[in-house]
Amino acid sequence: MSQCTSNKNYLKMIHLDPNDWRYYESLEEIKADGLTPIQVWSPLQFFTLRGKTSKLAKENLIPLEVEYVVLAHAEIDKYYLRKYRGYSIDQFYFMRRDLDFSGSDETIDSMHRYIYDDRVWIIMTKEMVEETKKMLERVYKANRRDGEPCLNYKTFIDLMERELRLEDYRDYGRPLPGFRTACMLMETSIREIWKNMGSKNGTK
Protein backbone atom coordinates (compact mmCIF):
# COMPACT_ATOMS: atom_id res chain seq x y z
CA MET A 1 0.00 0.00 0.00
CA SER A 2 2.74 2.40 -0.99
CA GLN A 3 0.82 4.77 -3.23
CA CYS A 4 0.16 8.13 -1.61
CA THR A 5 -3.01 10.09 -2.25
CA SER A 6 -1.16 13.30 -3.05
CA ASN A 7 -1.41 12.64 -6.81
CA LYS A 8 -2.71 15.91 -8.21
CA ASN A 9 -4.87 14.06 -10.75
CA TYR A 10 -7.21 13.14 -7.90
CA LEU A 11 -7.58 16.59 -6.36
CA LYS A 12 -10.07 18.26 -8.71
CA MET A 13 -12.44 19.21 -5.88
CA ILE A 14 -9.77 20.61 -3.55
CA HIS A 15 -9.96 24.16 -2.16
CA LEU A 16 -7.31 26.51 -0.78
CA ASP A 17 -7.77 28.77 2.21
CA PRO A 18 -6.02 32.18 2.52
CA ASN A 19 -2.95 30.42 3.97
CA ASP A 20 -2.82 27.95 1.03
CA TRP A 21 -3.93 25.05 3.23
CA ARG A 22 -5.78 22.45 1.16
CA TYR A 23 -9.24 21.36 2.24
CA TYR A 24 -12.51 19.75 1.12
CA GLU A 25 -15.92 21.09 2.04
CA SER A 26 -17.51 17.67 2.46
CA LEU A 27 -16.82 13.94 2.36
CA GLU A 28 -18.84 13.86 -0.85
CA GLU A 29 -16.25 16.10 -2.51
CA ILE A 30 -13.57 13.60 -1.52
CA LYS A 31 -15.58 10.79 -3.13
CA ALA A 32 -16.07 12.95 -6.24
CA ASP A 33 -12.29 13.00 -6.59
CA GLY A 34 -12.36 9.19 -6.88
CA LEU A 35 -11.13 8.68 -3.32
CA THR A 36 -12.52 6.76 -0.35
CA PRO A 37 -12.61 8.46 3.06
CA ILE A 38 -12.25 5.95 5.92
CA GLN A 39 -13.31 7.12 9.38
CA VAL A 40 -10.43 6.78 11.85
CA TRP A 41 -11.23 5.48 15.34
CA SER A 42 -7.80 4.09 16.20
CA PRO A 43 -4.24 5.40 15.66
CA LEU A 44 -3.44 1.90 14.46
CA GLN A 45 -5.27 2.62 11.21
CA PHE A 46 -2.24 4.56 10.03
CA PHE A 47 -0.35 1.25 9.73
CA THR A 48 -0.57 -1.80 7.52
CA LEU A 49 1.10 -5.19 7.20
CA ARG A 50 4.30 -5.08 5.18
CA GLY A 51 4.62 -6.96 1.91
CA LYS A 52 2.67 -10.20 1.86
CA THR A 53 2.93 -10.93 5.56
CA SER A 54 -0.13 -12.24 7.35
CA LYS A 55 0.99 -12.57 10.98
CA LEU A 56 -0.52 -9.92 13.24
CA ALA A 57 2.63 -8.74 14.97
CA LYS A 58 4.37 -5.46 15.70
CA GLU A 59 7.40 -6.41 13.61
CA ASN A 60 5.19 -6.74 10.52
CA LEU A 61 3.57 -3.32 10.76
CA ILE A 62 4.74 -0.38 8.67
CA PRO A 63 3.40 3.20 8.46
CA LEU A 64 1.00 3.97 5.64
CA GLU A 65 2.12 6.46 3.01
CA VAL A 66 -1.23 8.16 3.07
CA GLU A 67 -3.03 11.45 3.37
CA TYR A 68 -5.91 12.12 5.73
CA VAL A 69 -8.42 14.87 6.38
CA VAL A 70 -9.18 16.57 9.69
CA LEU A 71 -12.41 18.36 10.48
CA ALA A 72 -10.60 21.02 12.49
CA HIS A 73 -13.76 22.79 13.67
CA ALA A 74 -16.92 20.76 14.14
CA GLU A 75 -19.12 23.71 13.21
CA ILE A 76 -17.22 24.58 10.00
CA ASP A 77 -17.30 22.22 7.02
CA LYS A 78 -13.62 22.28 6.14
CA TYR A 79 -11.84 18.93 5.95
CA TYR A 80 -8.18 19.90 5.90
CA LEU A 81 -5.84 17.62 3.99
CA ARG A 82 -2.67 16.40 5.69
CA LYS A 83 0.01 13.83 4.99
CA TYR A 84 0.90 11.21 7.62
CA ARG A 85 4.47 11.77 8.76
CA GLY A 86 5.43 8.12 9.12
CA TYR A 87 5.67 7.90 12.90
CA SER A 88 6.57 4.45 14.22
CA ILE A 89 4.21 2.21 16.21
CA ASP A 90 6.06 2.97 19.44
CA GLN A 91 5.77 6.70 18.79
CA PHE A 92 2.25 7.03 17.39
CA TYR A 93 0.41 4.17 19.10
CA PHE A 94 2.24 3.51 22.38
CA MET A 95 3.70 7.04 22.80
CA ARG A 96 6.83 5.34 24.13
CA ARG A 97 9.98 7.31 24.81
CA ASP A 98 13.18 6.33 23.03
CA LEU A 99 16.42 7.97 21.88
CA ASP A 100 14.61 9.79 19.07
CA PHE A 101 11.29 10.47 20.75
CA SER A 102 10.55 12.22 24.04
CA GLY A 103 7.27 10.37 24.60
CA SER A 104 5.24 13.45 23.74
CA ASP A 105 4.69 15.32 20.50
CA GLU A 106 2.30 18.17 19.83
CA THR A 107 1.30 16.88 16.39
CA ILE A 108 0.65 13.35 17.68
CA ASP A 109 -1.28 14.64 20.69
CA SER A 110 -3.42 16.78 18.40
CA MET A 111 -4.08 13.90 15.99
CA HIS A 112 -5.11 11.63 18.86
CA ARG A 113 -7.59 14.22 20.11
CA TYR A 114 -9.13 14.56 16.66
CA ILE A 115 -9.24 10.76 16.23
CA TYR A 116 -11.07 10.20 19.52
CA ASP A 117 -13.46 13.04 18.63
CA ASP A 118 -14.33 11.22 15.36
CA ARG A 119 -12.93 14.01 13.18
CA VAL A 120 -10.26 12.21 11.13
CA TRP A 121 -10.60 10.25 7.86
CA ILE A 122 -7.86 8.40 6.02
CA ILE A 123 -8.04 9.02 2.26
CA MET A 124 -7.60 5.89 0.16
CA THR A 125 -7.27 5.53 -3.59
CA LYS A 126 -9.02 2.69 -5.39
CA GLU A 127 -5.70 0.83 -5.46
CA MET A 128 -5.33 1.18 -1.69
CA VAL A 129 -8.84 -0.15 -1.13
CA GLU A 130 -8.12 -3.19 -3.29
CA GLU A 131 -4.80 -3.83 -1.55
CA THR A 132 -6.55 -3.64 1.82
CA LYS A 133 -9.15 -6.21 0.72
CA LYS A 134 -6.37 -8.55 -0.43
CA MET A 135 -4.58 -8.11 2.89
CA LEU A 136 -7.74 -8.96 4.85
CA GLU A 137 -8.23 -12.08 2.75
CA ARG A 138 -4.59 -13.09 3.29
CA VAL A 139 -4.83 -12.63 7.06
CA TYR A 140 -8.07 -14.61 7.22
CA LYS A 141 -6.65 -17.53 5.26
CA ALA A 142 -3.56 -17.61 7.49
CA ASN A 143 -5.68 -17.90 10.63
CA ARG A 144 -8.75 -19.81 9.47
CA ARG A 145 -8.61 -22.35 6.69
CA ASP A 146 -12.35 -22.97 6.51
CA GLY A 147 -15.06 -21.11 4.64
CA GLU A 148 -14.98 -17.97 2.54
CA PRO A 149 -12.76 -15.12 3.77
CA CYS A 150 -14.91 -12.83 5.91
CA LEU A 151 -12.54 -10.63 7.90
CA ASN A 152 -13.66 -7.03 7.77
CA TYR A 153 -11.47 -3.97 8.27
CA LYS A 154 -12.91 -2.98 11.65
CA THR A 155 -12.41 -6.47 13.07
CA PHE A 156 -8.88 -6.53 11.65
CA ILE A 157 -8.02 -3.34 13.56
CA ASP A 158 -9.60 -4.79 16.72
CA LEU A 159 -7.57 -7.99 16.39
CA MET A 160 -4.38 -6.08 15.65
CA GLU A 161 -4.84 -3.90 18.72
CA ARG A 162 -5.41 -6.96 20.91
CA GLU A 163 -2.34 -8.70 19.47
CA LEU A 164 -0.22 -5.58 20.02
CA ARG A 165 -1.39 -5.19 23.61
CA LEU A 166 -0.66 -8.86 24.28
CA GLU A 167 2.78 -8.65 22.66
CA ASP A 168 3.58 -5.47 24.57
CA TYR A 169 2.37 -6.93 27.86
CA ARG A 170 4.57 -9.98 27.39
CA ASP A 171 7.55 -7.67 26.93
CA TYR A 172 6.87 -5.26 29.79
CA GLY A 173 4.40 -6.90 32.16
CA ARG A 174 6.29 -10.01 33.23
CA PRO A 175 7.20 -8.66 36.71
CA LEU A 176 3.56 -7.82 37.46
CA PRO A 177 1.37 -10.08 39.65
CA GLY A 178 -1.13 -12.10 37.66
CA PHE A 179 1.01 -11.91 34.51
CA ARG A 180 0.15 -15.40 33.25
CA THR A 181 -3.55 -15.01 33.94
CA ALA A 182 -3.66 -11.67 32.10
CA CYS A 183 -1.89 -13.19 29.10
CA MET A 184 -4.28 -16.14 29.07
CA LEU A 185 -7.32 -13.84 29.14
CA MET A 186 -5.98 -11.76 26.25
CA GLU A 187 -5.16 -14.87 24.23
CA THR A 188 -8.65 -16.24 24.87
CA SER A 189 -10.32 -13.02 23.70
CA ILE A 190 -8.37 -13.19 20.42
CA ARG A 191 -9.24 -16.85 19.86
CA GLU A 192 -12.92 -16.13 20.51
CA ILE A 193 -13.01 -13.44 17.83
CA TRP A 194 -11.59 -15.84 15.26
CA LYS A 195 -13.86 -18.67 16.45
CA ASN A 196 -17.03 -16.57 16.24
CA MET A 197 -16.22 -14.96 12.93
CA GLY A 198 -18.96 -15.77 10.43
CA SER A 199 -20.27 -14.82 7.04
CA LYS A 200 -22.03 -11.74 8.45
CA ASN A 201 -18.61 -10.26 9.17
CA GLY A 202 -18.13 -9.10 5.54
CA THR A 203 -14.93 -7.81 3.96
CA LYS A 204 -15.86 -4.15 3.55
Which pLDDT does position 1 carry in this prediction? Answer: 44
User: What's the pTM?
Assistant: 0.86
Domain ranges of the chain: 8-196
Which pLDDT does position 74 carry in this prediction? Answer: 78
Which pLDDT does position 81 carry in this prediction? Answer: 96
**Helical pair 179-196 and 153-172, crossing angle rounded to 10 deg:** 160
Q: Are 118 and 169 in contact (CB under 8 A)?
A: no
Which pLDDT does position 3 carry in this prediction? Answer: 42
Which pLDDT does position 11 carry in this prediction? Answer: 75
Q: From residue 128, how far is each of 29, 31, 122 by CA, in Å? A: 19, 14, 11
| Angle ∠(124,1,191) on CA atoms, nearest 5 | 95
Neighbours of 172 (CB within 10 A): 11
User: Do the bridges between strand 61-63 and strand 15-16 make them parallel or antiparallel, or are there none, so unpaired?
Assistant: unpaired
Which pLDDT does position 15 carry in this prediction? Answer: 94
Measured between alpha carbons, how far is 66 from 31 in angstroms, rounded to an integer? 16
- What are 25-35's pLDDT values in tens digits? 999 999 999 99
Low-confidence ranges of the chain (pLDDT < 70): 1-10, 198-204
DSSP codes joined into one string, 140-192: HHHH--SSS----HHHHHHHHHHHHHHHHHHHH-TTSTTHHHHHHHHHHHHHH
Measured between alpha carbons, how far is 14 from 81 in angstroms, rounded to an integer? 9
Q: Are 150 and 199 in contact (CB under 8 A)?
A: yes
- What are 38-57's pLDDT values in tens digits? 999 999 999 999 999 999 99
Neighbours of 156 (CB within 10 A): 21
